[in-house]
Structure 1
Amino acid sequence: MMALFQISDEIRVQGTTKNGSDTIRYMMDHAAETDVLILDIGLPDLSGVDVARVLRDASIDTPILIVSNDDSSDTVLRAIRAGICGYLLKDCDGEELKHAVREVSFGRRYIDQRLLPYLMDRVRGEEQQNSPSYPVRPPHPSAAMSAVTRFMPGLEELTPRERDVLRLMAEGHTNDEIATRLFITPKTARNHTTSILQKLGVKTRTQAVVLALSQDISISAGTLGLFS
């Protein structure tokens, strides 16, 4: 994997670790000077998702980018719920990796475009019965484009304030925290959340957040360090 990271003078490898436990210990000491933490899923002891969850529980908010060969919908969703900021497949090229690192370092979200169509179907409950985990790479690039276009209308219907709320939801904030950040009442925040779910045609906050991540709502709402 290290060969992928020798791509630009913009990215400096600050340190490497051998497993999840070492990564956690390293970040406990070096989080302040680490701009982006890049993890694989298949670490020797803990999974990258487990590492992300431990770091978030420890209030370490360094942006985490997963770079992995694992393209199952289960894994991607677990990683998102654990608080990662980006998920990229290992067969990406150097330019896309550089772009993904830049995006998450700026506080934005990045999901490999090839993961989006079937990931969205999974979140919407449209996956096939008896297939709890299946590849999410679309068979043809056109499939990805048509799927993304299919979900755009709901996002376009959101008001600027609803986009602000959705962006904060994607960052993991509760309605009360959103209310505080936007200087609105908790009731207003809940009303915005309800309206967002209705406009996007989803039933849960998680579904709305994945949709937001797929369209990088943080950019339109206008929102290195260790490699393992």
Structure 2
Amino acid sequence: MLDAPTAPLRLALVAEDPLARGALSRALSDQGGELLMVASGTQAELESAPGDAPDVVLWDTGLRLPENDSRVEVPDLGAPVLALVADEAAGEVALTAGARGLLFRDVGPAPLVAALLAVARGLTVFDTALAEVRAAPRASSTATATPGPDSLTPREREVLALLAEGLSNKAIADRLSISEHTAKFHVNAVLAKLGVQRRTEAVVRAARMGLVTL
């Protein structure tokens, strides 16, 4: 019996530079039917237009990211993010901000598609030249078995506060003006970072850590 055709990967492309967006879109469209571009724009545009979450986000960070700026965050679209960076400094910022993979901006279309497929499946992908960038944040983040307050993004803190109110995924989505799929993604991320399996356990642990007040 023939295998059923695999649905294309739903991709959101985030880039501040319209020329970069156009070039990436054209390059990826030439790689066959493995990818389906469902959204393309700047980070502010896509985050302010809630809809169904993609399977993976490609984030072109541009020529330079501000170093040591804790305000830099990956695009909040409810999917893992693969960042394209110009140098190691930008790679470290993107990784600290929450990117699941790092590649240089001059990566070829074929390896880029392969990396996107891997990140969408929950894997991490790094250019070999960025190996040391990969090691530094991971070493600091695993120094303690219990996640601290800083391990949660601002959006995850919002979701955690709504979990403490006993809201369902749908209610969280309505409150934050995001899709239910995106809300579920953030809830699962909160559970994983707090090392629990259930929503009630997350609330109890967060209260003990001082993240929420019951």
TM-score for the superposition, normalised by structure 2: 0.46
- Does 1 or 2 have the higher relative contact order (CA < 8 Å, sep 6+)? 1
